[in-house]
Amino acid sequence: MSAVFGILDVAKSGMGVYKTWLNAVADNIANIDNVTDTASPAFQERFVQVTAVDDQRGFGAGAAVVGADFGDPNGRVNYDPNHPLADENGFVRRPDIDLSDQMVYLQLAQRGYQANVQAFDRARDAYESILSIGR
């Protein structure tokens, strides 16, 4: 990274990654109770794919989101004969998402975001002191 205040960009890339993860988790939780008929796919859990980014010097340039993975479209088939979407055998499809998993991911993503905010603050502190050279 050759930008003047390159470390701020590194912290920013980290914040972006964890924000994307928070979005994915929020989306999963928002759709956790979706019900579909058995002829359609269930809502698929969203996973974020992340990779480390390097600069020419090898000191690292942060992280980047490179894509998304999706959970099982078959979901879980439940017996719920009174549901309006139930098929002739009384089955409906629900997403295969575990709320406790999502809460753990939520916590990890939130802590990761906070850690990157701290990294940003520290880098700004260091740059401010460097800017005072010769004053």
Partner 1 sequence: MTISGISDSVTAALHLAINGLDARQQAISTNIANLETPNYLAKEIDFESSLRAALDDGDPSQMEISVSESLAATRLNGNNVNIDFELLASSENVMRQKLAVQALSAKYQLIRTAIGTP
Please report, as ranges, the residues that interact with partner 1 according to CB under 8 A.
1, 6-7, 10-11, 13-14, 17, 21, 50-53, 57-63, 108-109, 111-112, 115-116, 118-119, 122-123, 125-126, 129-130, 132-135
* Least distance in angstroms from the C-beta of 43 to partner 1: 24
**75 and 93 Cβ atoms separated by less than 8 Å:** yes
- Quick one: 95 or 112, whose CB is closer to partner 1? 112
Length of the chain: 135
d(CA 62, CA 15) in angstroms, rounded, equals 10
- Quick one: 34 or 52, whose CB is closer to partner 1? 52
* Least distance in angstroms from the C-beta of 67 to partner 1: 13
**86 and 104 Cβ atoms separated by less than 8 Å:** no
- Quick one: 65 or 77, whose CB is closer to partner 1? 65
**60 and 52 Cβ atoms separated by less than 8 Å:** yes
- Quick one: 11 or 92, whose CB is closer to partner 1? 11
Rounded-to-10 torsion of CA 106, 112, 114, 118: 180
- Retrieve residue 52's tokens: 């480390």
* Least distance in angstroms from the C-beta of 21 to partner 1: 8
